Amino acid sequence: MTSNRSTAWPAPAKLNLFLHVNGRRADGYHELQTLFQFIDYCDYLDFAVNDSGKLSLHSEMEAVVANSDNLILKAAKSLQEYTGTHQGAEIWLDKKLPMGGGIGGGSSDAATTLVALNHLWQTQLSQDELAKIGLSLGADVPVFINGLAAFAEGVGEKLIPVEAPENWYLILTPDVHVSTAEVFNDPLLPRDTPKLSMNDLMSSDWHNDCQPRVAERYPQVAKALAWLIEYAPSRMTGTGACVFGIFDTRQQAEQVFAKLPAGLCGFIAKGTNKSPLALRLTQR
């Protein structure tokens, strides 16, 4: 193992506790209202800093390393370019979050890379500066950099920290990769949910406007939802494919998890309003 290796930087998953599509802008992006909350289920990244400026990524998942659009390397390169640092890093990814599941795995990996390398390279960017770089990589990256559960508007970049109930969740991971672009280009996607104030939203019944369209297009998602909703209030997160059931206790979630039929996979996680990455920084 490399002697200067900084280990186990968490890249947590997120859930969209609701997702409302309010309209479509002239530039093609959608106006959204959503509530992000983190869960204590994470990818983990290790970093070994070098003075050569070289960036490299290692993972047991060949698809991650072979992807030239990988957000981890894009994030590291963006931080190099923004700060002018001549430092580089060797990066190891322990991938636990499903890809294309709507729980933010790629965005979270990018955010953890920015936060960790800003610390390890001692480039001393503010959280706002890191979020600015993050937004250029993806609309969800800033919420992971800020590290607090947040109500979001616009395309998801306008964030207001909130305290949401820190429930237990049983999250099912249908074996399908849902294309976010495909969902938002669906002509039948509802795009007229009225905008509400944060107070009204926090006290209203929550739903996900993308869920009916994804369930219709992907039978695996419909099957997971149909099973889970028999046991608990359940919704899809983001544009899918993951769906989550809400429980008051871990024991309740475990009892339902034990009944999971063959062909469905998932995990249990705790909701948290402060991300594991933010907690890691405060412990340093």
Let me know: does 167 contact 250? Beta carbons within 8 Å: no
Closest CA to 179 of 157, 210, 207, 152: 210
Is 270 a known active-site residue?
no
Let me know: does 42 contact 103? Beta carbons within 8 Å: no
Give the Å distances, CA to CA, from 149 to 68, 145, 258: 31, 11, 29
Four-residue CA torsion sign, 139, 140, 142, 148: positive
Give the Å distances, CA to CA, from 31 to 138, 154, 193: 15, 5, 10
Task: Find the catalytic residue in 14, 43, 46, 109.
Answer: 14
Q: List phi, psi (to 5°) of 260.
A: -55, 125
Is 14 a known active-site residue?
yes
- Radius of gyration, alpha carbons of the chain: 19
Task: Find the catalytic residue in 46, 109, 140, 209.
Answer: 140
The set of catalytic residues is 14, 140
